[in-house]
A and B are shown apart, each in its own frame.
Chain A
């Protein structure tokens, strides 16, 4: 049983002619739908960006290590020297 429930007015609406799409447009729409089937394509892995990010991360890490090492040279030795009383 459908929503019309044998209503004559709604039955009359059922008799309205169905508008048709032009065949070319119909085919074009189907092509577009078929191309879109399968969901969104997963993006390919971005190797160049990954390489650049790795290089920058490594450079940053080395710079940090080197900075701590310099700080160690400047303050660490002086402090040790004065404690020993050798200088």
Chain B
């Protein structure tokens, strides 16, 4: 999607054009769902957050400004939905009383069709702290530009570069640790 096409979509969305919403949905739906699933690590939660994200997108479309970066805007809404859910989940004491173990993670690492290397990568990603995971998801998995990812995270470009560098180092370390463990098992 080039800039002119994006600007046209933004203008149509602002007018409440359903066809424009369908085009944006077709382009970003799977990407947002993947992002949310890798953040939440629970399919049911990711599906609900995905729906909430798109309802918010539709509700606020009329307030879109000219020149809005659609990808950055959409991922910002999705991230905010996830953060709200996470805050709520942290305060949900009933979960502690009735489900002390917590649900098993259902992240993409459980896909049966994924290869060993991909499973290791997904697992390493899942094991990272949230701040590292989200920066790697935005830049690595979703391919957002640095400027877009910094906008989604609400940080300055310099802070973004540092966070990306730390996240990358942490992922690398996790992968090496996992490879050493596998080698020890084989040996």
The answer to whether B30 and A33 have CB atoms under 8 Å apart is no
Task: Check A18/B25 contact, CB under 8 A, given A10-B168, A13-B121, A29-B50.
Answer: no
Using CB atoms and an 8 Å cutoff, list the residues of chain A in contact with chain B: 1-4, 7, 9-21, 25-26, 28-30, 32-40
B57 and chain A: residue at smallest CB distance: A33
Using a CB–CB distance below 8 Å, which chain B residues touch chain A?
16, 18, 21-22, 25, 29-31, 33-34, 37-38, 47, 50-51, 54-55, 57-62, 108, 111, 113-114, 118, 121-122, 125, 136-141, 143-146, 148-149, 164, 168, 171-172, 175
Within the complex, the shortest CB–CB distance from A7 to chain B, in Å, comes to 7
Q: CB-CB < 8 A to A38: which residues of B?
A: 16, 58, 62
Do the beta carbons of A16 and B143 come within 8 Å of each other? no
B141 and A33 form a contact (CB under 8 A): no
Whole-angstrom CA separation of A15 from B34 in the bound complex: 13
Contact of B136 among A1, A13, A40 (CB under 8 A): A13
Selected from A1, A11, A17, A37, the residue in CB contact (under 8 A) with B58 is A37
- With A17-B118, A21-B30, A38-B16 as contacts: A10 and B172 at CB distance below 8 Å: no
Inter-subunit contact B55/A36 (CB<8 Å) = yes
Q: Which residues of B are found within 8 Å of A28, using beta-carbon distances?
A: 51
Chain B residues lying within 8 Å of A18, measured Cβ to Cβ, are 30-31, 34
Cα of A60 to Cα of B57 in the assembled complex, Å = 48
The complex places the Cα of A18 from the Cα of B38 at a distance, in Å, of: 10
Closest to A2 in B: B145
